[in-house]
């Protein structure tokens, strides 16, 4: 398998010496643990396949004594497999091994490999580790403050630069609603970065379906899998992938995405969609707001790419805080099993948020990513991170800043600073030095093949290094746990002005909507349906729905097409969800009152999800 991923386009000979390349592929084992394979590929002469004529070689050799240059070159890969994701460190280490080989430095390759394998990596928490492979190098591993927060470098900013705001938002919605997403590019490393960027935008959710940033040519049949996925393939296969009917395809080099007609892509609910688009536009195109001014202010310095990356991620953090506002008040602890089980009451959450009929949030709450979110973040006592603080204490501030771009940008930059500090906790990094190969070294006419590594010698050196490090402190970190802040209760995401207040108006809206449905007036139905669904929160409106259906359905029979039937089912589902939510809420209040009377609610150590 590793051989296939090292050469995703297939093992092919070349007529010229190509530049060494580097990219990172991701392998996932049966336990869903990821392994990061860093691949440095270079080309060396294939001695057995040279195209020179024997007679010419012999004749010329007698005259000049020269050896003919190679004409056929084969790829060879140096691969480093690790559970840790430090791509730049791994690039430097593999590059150093290649440099020692190509420049014939007086350093044992076995000692380089052994020193690399025996290096103890510190646990997350912002600690640093200086190390050397013994070839005149000085390298530094910087761990993030929190391993729960994704480390992205500049990959998110690069994804928006390649595809634009609207296309990335479409891919974001596609992944959250469990659609298949496929990237293609002429660069393997760009594929890896794009997949990682899209996945990191999902935080605090985690992607739980197949994730293959670089898919080898031999495994292209995986694209026909019925499950959702995030996959990247090289652009040489783009003629094959355009036949896929249920896959959203993103062209990183051309900056376009293709959504098949059979896919209905749910979008973010308003007003969150407009707010997110506006915030991203202000951050990525800061001069747009003053472009028409006769006397524009002096140009402000653009954020460098790493900070711009974190500002974009901060916008999505704010978005999730608004989407999941008050989620903890809908958590229930079920204690009938040996281990307590945490359940999330989706109907109650959607009802209180006023999004019962929003298909985007409904799909998100029904997805595997949100199930993992509830399981991981549901417990009331655990280690907390930036999202927990944001969703508990900052949602009201976010709402106040909706119509104030200056305050909104200030908050985004505050969050971006925290994300940046998580990846770069030490502003004064130690001096690093890694020798690089001599310029043009890969074009030398006569380079000996890469020597075979003595595995026994490597194992011996690793054991010696481990013996030296026996007294070193273990690379573990105790997680600081605390009571998770509950935050305010769930509130409606919709503006109050959109609510139908007058009960007579509510009944009229429901009647009109039913009439439009049975008259097959699709345009009028689409306009009135959202207001009718909101009106169904009232008992009188629900009674009106049953009465109107009784009038239109004569003798228990009515002929409807698919679209009409779908509208009726949506209204009936909305009614049932409201009734179920009210029943659950009443039962919760009664149970809470009974516990309070019995004094159980004050027991120390009791799990209370608020």
pLDDT at 263 over 80: yes
SS3 441: helix
pLDDT for residue 95 = 93
pLDDT at 59 over 80: no
Residue 569 pLDDT grade (very low, low, confident, very high; cuts 50, 70, 90): confident
pLDDT at 315 over 80: yes
Separation CA 179–CA 172 (nearest Å):
10
Query: Residues of 419-436 as b/e, b for ≥16 C-beta within 10 angstroms?
Result: bbebbbeeeeeeeeebbe
Judge whether 6 and 79 are in contact, CB under 8 Å.
yes
**Distances, alpha carbon 584 to alpha carbons 93, 351, 378, 408, 492, in Å:** 58, 12, 19, 37, 18
SS3 256: strand
Single out the residue of 103, 55, 48, 42 nearest to residue 70, CA to CA: 48
Tell me which of 302 and 137 has the higher pLDDT. Answer: 137
pLDDT at 173 over 90: yes
Separation CA 247–CA 259 (nearest Å):
7
Separation CA 241–CA 521 (nearest Å):
39
Judge whether 574 and 536 are in contact, CB under 8 Å.
yes
Say how many C-beta atoms besides its own lie within 10 A of residue 503's C-beta: 14
pLDDT for residue 606 = 38
Residue 299 pLDDT grade (very low, low, confident, very high; cuts 50, 70, 90): low
Tell me which of 312 and 603 has the higher pLDDT. Answer: 312
* Structure tokens given for 517: 């449905």
Q: Which residues pair with 139 in a beta bridge?
A: 131
Residue 90 pLDDT grade (very low, low, confident, very high; cuts 50, 70, 90): very high
The rounded Cα 322 to chain-centroid distance in angstroms is: 18
Separation CA 338–CA 43 (nearest Å):
59
The residue behind tokens 């990513």 is 369
SS3 151: coil
Residue 598 pLDDT grade (very low, low, confident, very high; cuts 50, 70, 90): low
* Structure tokens given for 557: 């029979």
358 phi and psi, to 5 degrees? Answer: -85, 110
**Percentage of the chain modeled with pLDDT above 90:** 31
pLDDT at 500 over 50: no
SS3 339: coil
Which helix (H) or strand (E) segment is 331 a member of? strand 331-334
**Percentage of the chain modeled with pLDDT above 70:** 85
pLDDT for residue 583 = 65
Tell me which of 169 and 563 has the higher pLDDT. Answer: 169
Separation CA 604–CA 336 (nearest Å):
20
365 contact partners, CB below 8 Å, separation of at least 6: 344, 346, 349, 350
pLDDT for residue 496 = 44
Residue 582 pLDDT grade (very low, low, confident, very high; cuts 50, 70, 90): low
pLDDT for residue 20 = 92
Separation CA 477–CA 281 (nearest Å):
40
Single out the residue of 44, 11, 34, 32 nearest to residue 441, CA to CA: 44
What strand order describes the sheet that includes 21-28? 21-28, 34-45, 73-82
Tell me which of 465 and 106 has the higher pLDDT. Answer: 106
Residue 586 pLDDT grade (very low, low, confident, very high; cuts 50, 70, 90): low
Please state, rounded to an integer, the average pLDDT across all residues of the chain: 83
Taking every pair of Cα atoms in the chain, the longest distance, rounded to a whole number of angstroms, is 108
Q: Which residues pair with 343 in a beta bridge?
A: 332
pLDDT at 471 over 90: no
Residue 3 pLDDT grade (very low, low, confident, very high; cuts 50, 70, 90): confident
Q: Which residues pair with 82 in a beta bridge?
A: 36
pLDDT at 38 over 90: yes
Separation CA 410–CA 16 (nearest Å):
53
Separation CA 610–CA 608 (nearest Å):
6
* Structure tokens given for 411: 């908050």
Tell me which of 400 and 61 has the higher pLDDT. Answer: 400
For helices 503-518 and 539-552, angle between their N-to-C axes, nearest 10 degrees: 30
Mean pLDDT of 245-271: 90
pLDDT for residue 418 = 93
Separation CA 388–CA 381 (nearest Å):
12
19: left (phi over 0), alpha (psi -120 to 50) or beta: beta
354 phi and psi, to 5 degrees? Answer: 75, 30
pLDDT for residue 88 = 92
Task: Burial-class residue 541 by CB neighbours within 10 Å (0-12, 13-18, 19+).
Answer: buried
181 phi and psi, to 5 degrees? Answer: -125, 130
pLDDT at 597 over 90: no
pTM score, whole prediction:
0.77
DSSP 394: S
Residue 408 pLDDT grade (very low, low, confident, very high; cuts 50, 70, 90): very high
Task: Burial-class residue 111 by CB neighbours within 10 Å (0-12, 13-18, 19+).
Answer: middle
Write the pLDDT tens digit of every residue in 338-376. 777 888 888 888 877 777 667 899 899 999 999 999 999
Separation CA 359–CA 44 (nearest Å):
55
Give the CA count within 13 Å in the CB-facing half-sphere of 209: 22
């Amino acid at each position: 398998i590793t051989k296939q991923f090292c050469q995703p386009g297939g093992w092919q000979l070349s007529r010229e010496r190509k530049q060494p390349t580097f990219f990172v592929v991701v392998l996932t084992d049966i336990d869903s643990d990821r392994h990061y394979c860093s691949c440095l590929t270079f080309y060396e002469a294939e001695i057995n396949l040279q195209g020179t004529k024997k007679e010419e070689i012999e004749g010329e050799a007698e005259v000049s004594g020269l050896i003919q240059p190679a004409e056929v070159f084969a790829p060879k890969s140096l691969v480093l497999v690790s559970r840790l994701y430090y791509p730049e460190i791994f690039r430097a280490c593999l590059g150093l091994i290649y440099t020692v080989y190509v420049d014939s430095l007086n350093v044992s390759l076995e000692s380089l490999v052994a020193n690399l394998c025996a290096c103890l990596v510190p646990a997350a928490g912002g600690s640093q580790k200086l190390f050397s492979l013994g070839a005149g190098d000085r390298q530094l591993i910087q761990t993030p403050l929190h391993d729960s927060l994704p480390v992205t470098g500049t990959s998110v900013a690069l994804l928006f630069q390649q595809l634009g705001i609207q296309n990335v938002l479409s891919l974001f919605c596609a992944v959250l609603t469990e659609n298949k997403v496929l990237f293609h590019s002429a660069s393997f490393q760009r594929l890896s970065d794009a997949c990682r960027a899209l996945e990191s935008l999902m935080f605090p959710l985690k992607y739980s379906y197949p994730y293959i940033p670089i898919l080898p040519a031999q495994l292209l049949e995986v694209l026909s899998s019925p499950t959702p996925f995030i996959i990247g393939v090289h652009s040489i296969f783009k003629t094959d992938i355009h036949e896929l009917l249920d896959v959203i395809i993103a062209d990183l080099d051309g900056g376009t995405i293709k959504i098949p007609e059979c896919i209905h892509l749910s979008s973010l609910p308003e007003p969150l969609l407009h707010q997110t688009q506006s915030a991203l536009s202000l951050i990525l195109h800061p001069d747009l707001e003053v472009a028409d001014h006769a006397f524009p202010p002096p140009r402000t310095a653009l954020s460098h790419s790493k900070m711009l990356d974190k500002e974009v991620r901060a916008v999505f953090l704010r978005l999730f805080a608004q989407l999941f506002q008050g989620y903890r008040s809908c958590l229930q602890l079920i204690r009938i099993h040996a281990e307590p089980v945490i359940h999330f009451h989706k109907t109650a959450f959607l009802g209180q948020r006023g999004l019962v009929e929003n298909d985007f949030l409904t799909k998100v709450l029904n997805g595997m990513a949100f199930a993992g979110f509830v399981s991981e973040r549901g417990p009331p006592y655990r280690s907390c991170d930036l999202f927990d603080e944001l969703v508990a204490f900052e949602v009201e501030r976010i709402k106040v800043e909706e119509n104030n771009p200056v305050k909104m940008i200030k908050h985004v930059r505050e969050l971006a600073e925290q994300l940046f500090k998580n990846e770069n906790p030490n502003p004064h990094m130690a001096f690093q030095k890694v020798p690089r190969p001599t310029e043009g070294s890969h074009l030398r006419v006569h380079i000996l093949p890469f020597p075979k590594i003595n595995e026994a010698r490597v194992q011996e050196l690793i054991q010696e290094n481990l013996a030296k490090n026996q007294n070193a402190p273990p690379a573990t970190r105790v997680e600081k746990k605390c009571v998770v802040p509950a935050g305010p209760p769930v509130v409606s995401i919709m503006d109050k002005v959109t609510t139908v207040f007058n009960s007579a108006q509510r009944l009229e809206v429901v009647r009109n909507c039913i009439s439009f449905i049975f008259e097959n007036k699709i345009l009028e139905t689409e306009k009135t349906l959202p207001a009718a669904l909101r009106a169904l929160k009232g008992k009188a409106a629900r009674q009106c729905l049953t009465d109107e259906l009784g009038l239109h359905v004569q003798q228990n029979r009515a002929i409807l097409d698919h679209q009409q039937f779908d509208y009726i089912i949506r209204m009936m589902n909305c009614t049932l969800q409201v009734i179920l939510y009210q029943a659950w809420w009443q039962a919760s209040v009664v149970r809470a009152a009974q516990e309070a009377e019995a004094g159980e609610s004050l027991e120390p150590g009791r799990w209370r999800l608020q």
